[in-house]
Structure 1
């Protein structure tokens, strides 16, 4: 694939590269601190060619459900739905937009807008969801900050359920002076979902293994693919932070409160970590059908919902 779009911030020289033909994935974000480039995202070397697994790098966009749906099955408004299963043949995974081409509708030096409408861009998947949707994403570079604005529109005639997540792969360390062993993750989470075979049982527990993400944990000591929740923070938004202590640099991912759950995933054999903000947990549509409040959203016909996620790079201020 050669349909790459590169954004450049004229003031700092920061860059971001988006692949519209593979889920509108922003797979490269290079900040510039004191004249030095800082590579923020991790992706396979062949990602730009479009031959890599779509969910294996950059920032896959997960919609209309993040992560898994148990056995690919759910019931909505009295109708049963059966979704295609993942490569293990167990569950549906990651939604309908991360592995298909998007349409670019606007772009400039430091921004680009992509759109994905289910009936237009994946008509073969229309029968898999209760109605049609339009997802619009704006990527914008603001100095050393990458902002994603999301606009979700119900373009059908019936209410539709939805959940949104992103799956960013953050590269560590943040400089040649940094070390993997000196990188710290800080999250405002206080509880986690009990999982059985990667699926929530509905039970929420205290965080296991004496992990204290609010005080910070060294990334090199973690082996996780878990859903954390019950965020504790003040103000209108919250931060999820990666700190390279030796380099004196940090990456901060900032979200509004609609993102109520965070998946932390440590890919095996890679110097990276995924910190995934979700508006609802894995299998939320089935958890809700069991009477649990899991954050599943419902959008009325012609209604819109707007939200955003920021990723910024800066020096650590002692």
Structure 2
């Protein structure tokens, strides 16, 4: 596979993206005052397609993030099934991570510092189209500017029936942020005040105040986190959220800002890896099967012929004392 490379000409910050594998941005080298910060964690074999597409870089999860219980759901009175032969499943039989992280995307534009690609279900994943209530497309524009990697998302419904949708990203952030740092001296922060109660990685439908072991409001040390949690209860009446990794020993900070359309944050620490996933979601895991409980799941419906836009920014910098 041949990656797309985008570069900020002023600073030399670069990113590498694999259009053939879900338009995954699997490398971001951010230049901060002449220092190269290697931001994204990826397996060495990821570029050759020899690793799971959800295991490295920034997998894009659409039209549903995380899991759908048993690979089944009902929408407008019709039952849908996502069988293992068409969709990824976890070990317990849940469909996982959407339709577009493992298939080729169509590149629309590629200039020095940005690249745009699109995935449409009826064009690029036709074998999965019967698994969803209608057609959908997602377009992503990645741009490198200074020490920032920005993703702009455009999601559309080209069909003639309303469709449900959810979007998430699954970034693997390296910890620490430099060779001078130490995982024990890295703080993870998020403003979430609640968490979903989970059973086998699926929300039960209930939330609770965030528990001390998952509370990141004042920061938690990376080496003390063992997480696979869905955080919620983000501040209201603001237009964007922030989570971050602070490498105190190296004096560096990595910030992920995102549109308030992303109401949930999955925090996941992959076993035996010095990295952490801070995953913004527009809806909670298994939202399609929680609609009957009248919960605020974040699940959205896109009318025929309409579209919606959102964004995420990842930025490296020095700790300001």
TM-score where L is the length of structure 1:
0.98
| 1:213 counterpart (210, 213, 216) | 216
Q: Residue 136 of structure 1 contacts residue 151 of structure 1 at CA under 8 Å; is this kept in 2?
A: yes
Matched ranges for 1:1-318 at <5 A = 1=1, 3-85=2-84, 86-232=89-235, 235-318=238-321
Distance in 2 separating the partners of 1:190 and 1:89: 29
Distance in 2 separating the partners of 1:234 and 1:249: 29
Q: Residue 287 of structure 1 contacts residue 293 of structure 1 at CA under 8 Å; is this kept in 2?
A: no
CA offset digits 1:244-264 (Å, max 9, x no partner): 000000100001111000000
Q: Residue 72 of structure 1 contacts residue 84 of structure 1 at CA under 8 Å; is this kept in 2?
A: yes
Distance in 1 separating the partners of 2:39 and 2:130: 38
CA offset digits 1:201-225 (Å, max 9, x no partner): 0110112245431111001100010
Deviation at 1:289, TM superposition (A): 2.6
Distance in 1 separating the partners of 2:154 and 2:305: 12
Q: Where in structure 1 are there 5+ consecutive unaligned residues?
A: none
Deviation at 1:291, TM superposition (A): 2.2
Distance in 1 separating the partners of 2:150 and 2:32: 18
Matched residue SS, 1:98: coil
Distance in 1 separating the partners of 2:31 and 2:246: 16
Distance in 1 separating the partners of 2:171 and 2:214: 22
Matched residue SS, 1:45: coil
Q: Residue 90 of structure 2 contacts residue 96 of structure 2 at CA under 8 Å; is this kept in 1?
A: no
Provide the aligned length of Structure 1 versus Structure 2: 317
Deviation at 1:131, TM superposition (A): 0.3
Distance in 1 separating the partners of 2:149 and 2:171: 12
Distance in 2 separating the partners of 1:211 and 1:168: 19
Q: Which runs of 4+ in 1 moved over 3 A?
A: 209-212
Distance in 2 separating the partners of 1:211 and 1:289: 28
TM-score where L is the length of structure 2:
0.97
Q: Residue 166 of structure 1 contacts residue 276 of structure 1 at CA under 8 Å; is this kept in 2?
A: yes
Q: Residue 71 of structure 2 contacts residue 94 of structure 2 at CA under 8 Å; is this kept in 1?
A: yes
Distance in 1 separating the partners of 2:16 and 2:214: 35
